[in-house]
Structure 1
């Protein structure tokens, strides 16, 4: 099955089966993601078709901050399952690895600003193409040896319409927006919320909302946003607003004193409880934080 790929070895198992190999035709090192699926009466599942179609669509733009897809190989196995190999450019590490291996002094403000800009540039590109990633987290952001950030893993990505209400539970717990945790309709600003959590983590070297359960995650969020008002609280969920202690809003800087006033203001806006008040990725890129020399 790897007839044109050699030196194939497992490099990661925590976020899907991913292998490192070499393309015999070009000599380049590649990352190979294996997806094994059971065929139904209707053939390949819609979610698998969607991911591959999205990857192929995005690849035509050759965007610098979205991981490149080189090849898609399909094999019908003896047990009737379909094996799909997605062959990507190989990127040396992810942002989680980078943060974990930082020196005690942490990440430089210049690097944080640059990586934040690259992240939001990639998110803006996705949203401009009507794609919500829905699973942004440090493990899905690859960082090349040249320091270039690339968004990867579109397993939960979905094309959206302007008025579409998306309600399926997505996004790793620590990076979930409150409307997702409350099972409400949401839009592309779920990616803005996740991006803000990631940017904060680059400053502080720790997660902003390391919740242990969905209820605990909401409680940690309310420590920053304040407990929603009666008018803001959704009427369609079983959990009551009174199950959470009264809290007044705080600033991101209250959780990380290293934030300059510009970073604090940007993250404050990206982490607003009301999803309709959060800025777009393009508006974030136009914020004063990206117009100043890092402080």
Structure 2
């Protein structure tokens, strides 16, 4: 199968995955020979036209691509195929190809897990990507391991910007954002929110780098709150008076040591995690503050040098052969 844009042709090699949004393929640019990822979006034409989430993702990624960020996936091309006989519009987004998502990366790492230095490198890149977005007034709103891409050299990039928004001080934002297990308390409570929602998700993902499984696994908004309160404790009403939490519906719960749930984390990493998983958004670290935390200044790892090395290897990964890669993960 071939996909064409106004200037390039792409030959599909294999299917990577599928979902409600459509299907992602591994493909090759017929002109340059580079391997790319094609995100074929399912669109049914009608009065509403192209979904706002798709337009938003294209617009944001085109804007960000001009700034050449290190930890944001690059949108290379957009292919519009017109309208078919069954009244479907064919729209394909062409991205740089990156080996796997973070969830797969963690699954492929054998026990007992990633080296502490590798966790630090990945966490630094994750926070750097979020800091870049927030510095340009963009909230991702759906950070989770499946939306974070990692190549075989450990270079990490944020992806899937369908829910991302450029925010303003008086903007009303929808409450139906962020996959449940990574959803901040203020979103679960349908309260006002801003960039701190991304930092809560970062905290959940940071813990998952050590655990290799999610920290809070609720089955509904209420159950997710229970799972959070079981770990960090039920906050006092005076700590967040503006939130409409039905306090009497939740049993009093003292905080438990996060070390019980993330046993291999170092003291500096534990402090960072606690500051990211603050129930009250105003008390949560910003991405800039997180980057300045002592955990990343510790000499046991050098995230900045790792990021630059990973950056230089990203291009060679994108040009990999058609058989894909067999990553050797840095594990303990």
Structure 2 length as normaliser, TM-score?
0.83
Cα deviation, residue 59, structure 1:
1.0
Match of 2:3, SS state, is coil
Residue in structure 2 matched with residue 57 of structure 1 by the alignment: 63
Cα deviation, residue 234, structure 1:
5.9
Residue in structure 1 matched with residue 312 of structure 2 by the alignment: none
Stretches of structure 2 that go unaligned for 5 or more consecutive residues are 302-332
Larger mean CA deviation between 43-52 and 262-271 belongs to 43-52
Deviation per CA, 1:231-265, whole angstroms, max 9, x where unpaired? 4366646xx32222211123422322211110111
Deviation per CA, 1:186-217, whole angstroms, max 9, x where unpaired? 00111100011001001122211011222111
Count of residue pairs brought into register by the alignment: 293
Change (3 A) 1:250 1:144: same
Residue in structure 1 matched with residue 15 of structure 2 by the alignment: 10
4+ long deviations beyond 4 Å? 233-237
The RMSD of aligned alpha carbons is 1.8
Residue in structure 2 matched with residue 122 of structure 1 by the alignment: 129
Larger mean CA deviation between 182-191 and 79-88 belongs to 79-88
Q: Name which of 172, 181, 190 aligns with 2:179.
A: 172
Cα deviation, residue 294, structure 1:
3.7
Q: Name which of 33, 46, 66 aligns with 2:52.
A: 46
1:264 aligns with 2:270: yes
Stretches of structure 1 that go unaligned for 5 or more consecutive residues are none
Match of 2:77, SS state, is strand
Structure 1 length as normaliser, TM-score?
0.93
Which structure is richer in relative contact order (CA contacts within 8 A, separation 6 or more)? 2
Larger mean CA deviation between 163-172 and 151-160 belongs to 163-172
Deviation per CA, 1:52-110, whole angstroms, max 9, x where unpaired? 11111111112121111110011222233322100001111111011112111211000
Larger mean CA deviation between 169-178 and 38-47 belongs to 38-47
Residue in structure 1 matched with residue 308 of structure 2 by the alignment: none
Instruction: Assess if the C-alpha contact under 8 Å between 1:165 and 1:186 holds in 2.
Output: no
Cα deviation, residue 42, structure 1:
5.2
1:110 aligns with 2:110: no
Match of 1:34, SS state, is strand
- Cα distance in 2 for residues equivalent to 1:138 and 1:41: 34
Instruction: Assess if the C-alpha contact under 8 Å between 2:191 and 2:243 holds in 1.
Output: no
Instruction: Assess if the C-alpha contact under 8 Å between 1:119 and 1:151 holds in 2.
Output: yes
Change (3 A) 1:26 1:70: same
